[in-house]
Amino acid sequence: MDDSVIIYTDGACSGNPGPGGWGAVLRWRGVERQLSGSEAHTTNNRMELQAVIAALEALKRPVPVTLYTDSQYVQKGVTEWLPRWKARQWRTASGHTVANRDLWERLDQLAAQLPITWCWVKGHDGNEGNELADWLARQAIAAMQKGKTDDRG
């Protein structure tokens, strides 16, 4: 039986910066797990990263992962930019400190432990897993704004 995990992630913000939420859908051997969380004041990029981090942290053991994100910031960041940022001591090509360095460092640690295939999907384009992750992120914002904070769905 295939032991790989399929993950869909998304982040959302009501204003950028503003209240934010993230959602993740993990599928393994016919079982689905949904995760979500929120922050009162954040950015969309931080929520996109947090969704991926939370999904990877939820894995019980190292297994192959196919991860779908509609964030080119995340997908290109991991596959293209991250090695160069690390080589430049977390500086961009223009010499600025990498934004969201704390989350990038955590994601780098997690990704180093797993074989991950990073896939970009167009957001809001009918991909069922991506649409569900987006819905979870938006529900997390709504719940927080109603005073119900549940940081780990």
State the binding site for Mg(2+). 10, 48, 70, 134
Q: What is the longest distance spanned by two Cα atoms in the chain?
A: 47
Residue 144 structure tokens: 């927080």
Check residue 96 and report its DSSP letter. P
Catalytically active residues, by annotation:
10-11, 48, 70, 124, 134
Question: CA 6, CA 66: separation in Å to the nearest integer?
Answer: 5
Q: Which parts are annotated binding residues?
A: 10, 48, 70, 134
Q: Would you say how long the chain is, in residues?
A: 153
Decide the pairing of beta strands 18-28 and 5-13.
Answer: antiparallel
Residue 2 structure tokens: 């295939």
